[in-house]
């Protein structure tokens, strides 16, 4: 199967990598289902896609709500008849030194980045298991490959996501359910991610890095499309994506 005619669910789809991916996949013939908290923004993106001749739908989604993830899958099935790919893209990065003790932000980061992905998997996995095909793609980070000061909790969620996706792939192979997984590790990508940082010094440092290096989210969208476009008997597990000039 190729990208064309696949139904692809995208979380965190109201901006950045999620939005860029929705637009690109729709251009290539996929039926895209967008989920995020900002429904007005989703509606604008869907309207653009439909006006351009593509197929798209959206619903408000809080990935930290388990029932909402199940409703999202049900909505996609009602709109387009099935589910082929789930792009687990929603995420927060409120980085800060551990000594700052932003414990509420730690909780929120774990809830969105890790539990949100788990809930998305739980919602779609029965569908994929029953139909004996499907694909999960997750946005991790280069912080899921190496440690960075100020990013302990964020990095922990992204390292956890790496293990989660790999074990899911292995178990699917053992169980014969033919579910593919891909994990993407972006470096500095132009998104709204820095908007979640409240620690002033951390924000200043991150802004300096991103102002120097960031590339457009369309670059990551192209990688997502590549992963989906592989033959069903081929799994490409990991992609690290970032600016050529960034020493990440």
**For this structure, is 119 an active site residue?**
no
Residues of the chain with pLDDT under 70: 1
Number of folded domains that form the chain: 1
Domain for residue 12, yes or no? yes
The domain of 222 spans 7-92+108-188+215-240
**Which pair of tokens denotes residue 28?**
């290539």
Domain for residue 248, yes or no? no
Domain for residue 49, yes or no? yes
- Residue 180, Ramachandran bin (φ over 0: left; ψ between -120 and 50: alpha; else beta): beta
Domain for residue 219, yes or no? yes
**What's the chain's average pLDDT?**
97
Please state the length of the chain. Answer: 248
Decide: 92 and 196 in contact? Cβ < 8 Å: yes
Q: Is 0.95 surpassed by the pTM of this model? A: yes
Please give the order of strands across the beta sheet that includes 7-11: 55-60, 31-36, 7-11, 85-88, 134-139, 179-186, 238-241
Q: Name the active-site residue from 154, 185, 210, 213.
A: 154
Domain for residue 163, yes or no? yes
| CATH at residue 231 | 3.40.50.720
> DSSP of 153-181, one letter per residue?
HHHHHHHHHHHHHHHHHHHHHHHT--EEE
In whole angstroms, give the CA distance from residue 84 to residue 178. Answer: 12
Domain for residue 118, yes or no? yes
Domain for residue 154, yes or no? yes
Domain for residue 245, yes or no? no
Q: Which pLDDT does position 2 carry in this prediction?
A: 86
Q: How, if at all, do strands 31-36 and 7-11 pair?
A: parallel
Dihedrals phi, psi of 4, to nearest 5 degrees: -55, 135
| Cα 198 from chain centre | 22
Decide: 162 and 206 in contact? Cβ < 8 Å: no
């Amino acid at each position: 199967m190729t990208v064309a005619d696949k139904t692809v669910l995208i979380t965190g789809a109201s901006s950045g990598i999620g939005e860029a991916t929705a637009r690109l996949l729709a251009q290539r013939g996929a039926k895209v289902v967008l989920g995020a908290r900002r429904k007005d923004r989703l509606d604008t993106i869907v309207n653009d896609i439909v006006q351009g001749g593509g197929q798209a739908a959206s619903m408000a989604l809080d990935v930290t709500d388990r029932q909402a993830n199940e409703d999202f899958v049900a909505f996609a099935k009602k709109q387009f008849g099935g589910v082929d790919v789930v792009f687990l893209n929603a995420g927060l990065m409120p980085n800060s030194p551990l000594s700052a003790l932003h414990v509420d932000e730690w909780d929120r980061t774990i809830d969105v980045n890790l539990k949100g992905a788990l809930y998305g998997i739980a919602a779609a996995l029965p569908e994929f298991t029953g139909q004996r095909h499907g694909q999960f793609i997750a946005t991790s980070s280069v912080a899921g490959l190496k440690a960075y000061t100020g990013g302990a909790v964020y990095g922990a969620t992204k390292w956890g996501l790496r293990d989660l996706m790999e074990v899911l792939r292995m178990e699917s192979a053992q169980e014969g359910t033919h579910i593919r997984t891909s994990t993407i590790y972006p470096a500095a990508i132009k998104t709204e991610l820095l908007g979640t940082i409240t620690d002033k010094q951390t924000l200043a440092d991150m802004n300096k890095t991103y102002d120097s290096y960031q590339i457009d989210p369309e670059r990551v969208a192209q990688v997502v499309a590549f992963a989906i476009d592989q033959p069903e008997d081929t799994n490409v597990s990991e992609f690290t994506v970032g600016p050529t000039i960034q020493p990440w």
